[in-house]
Each structure stands twice: as C-alpha cells, then as structure tokens.
Amino acid sequence: MRIGELAARAGTTTRTLRYYESRGLLPARRAVNGYREYGEEDLRLLRQIRTLQDFGFGLEETRPFVDCLRAGHPAGDACPASLAVYRRKLAELDELIGQLTDVRQQVARQLASAELAAEAEAPGGPEPRCELTG
C-alpha cells in the first residue's frame, strides 16, 4: 500500500509517517517508481506506536516495542527491552499518582479550612442552601 492509504488506515497523516520514517521507526521501502510501499506489518507497527502514545509513552519509548515486532514477535511487548520500558513507565506513573494524591490532600485541607473560616465570618451562621443549586 502507498503512504496515503497507510495513513488513512492508521488514522494519522502522511506527514506523521514521514516523521516516523525519519526517526527510524517506520521502514523506508521504495518501489521502482520511487513511491513508498508499506505492508500490513507496517500498519501493525503504527498501531503499536499509536496505542503506546495514547497511554502517554513518548515516541522514543515506543522504539523497543517496534524493534520487538520487527524481530518477529507477535506482540511488541514480549521482549526484555519492552518490559523494561513498561516497568519504567509504571514507576513514573506511580510517582505522579503519589504527587497528585499529596496535592489533592493539600487542596482538601485548604478547602476545609476555607469553609470553616467562611462559616465563622458569616453573620448569623452559615447561609441557607438553595435546594435548586445544591
């Protein structure tokens, strides 16, 4: 298939495919007439890259998965290098979750403190709540 068809089937643009080619992630095979030619295996590579990017992996982090597929493994995550990237990404996500949990707790404490202060400042106690607005 040609580049336009591959881009359409992969849900991306020809510009993106050329960029992946320049980065060595997508093989650059040319027909006699100079047109780029791609096969189903290239579509599989692109789907792997897109899935990983949807999960938050950077383009370079997808390289071990692409290399694993190119090595003939049916899944791009069956190789040791791919597993190492998964482990690093999980550790990174765990760290981010920890940071977000800390921030959430701080914001919750600030909110509780602000609500108490607002109630204390309100003349006659807290304002009546409107049932229509919550």
Predicted confidence at residue 34, as pLDDT, reads 86
Predicted confidence at residue 128, as pLDDT, reads 60
Contact 86, 77 (CB under 8 A): yes
CA distance 12 to 15: 8
Predicted confidence at residue 75, as pLDDT, reads 85
- The answer to whether residue 133 sits within a structural domain is no
Q: Considering the entire predicted model, what is its pTM?
A: 0.72
Domain that holds residue 9: 3-121
Please count the structural domains in the chain. 1
Three-state SS at 18: helix
Q: Which parts of the chain have pLDDT scores under 70?
A: 124-134
- Write the CATH number for 84: 1.10.1660.10
Give me the residue label for tokens 């336009």. Answer: 4
What distance lies between CA 22 and its chain's CA centroid?
21
Predicted confidence at residue 59, as pLDDT, reads 92
Contact 12, 46 (CB under 8 A): yes
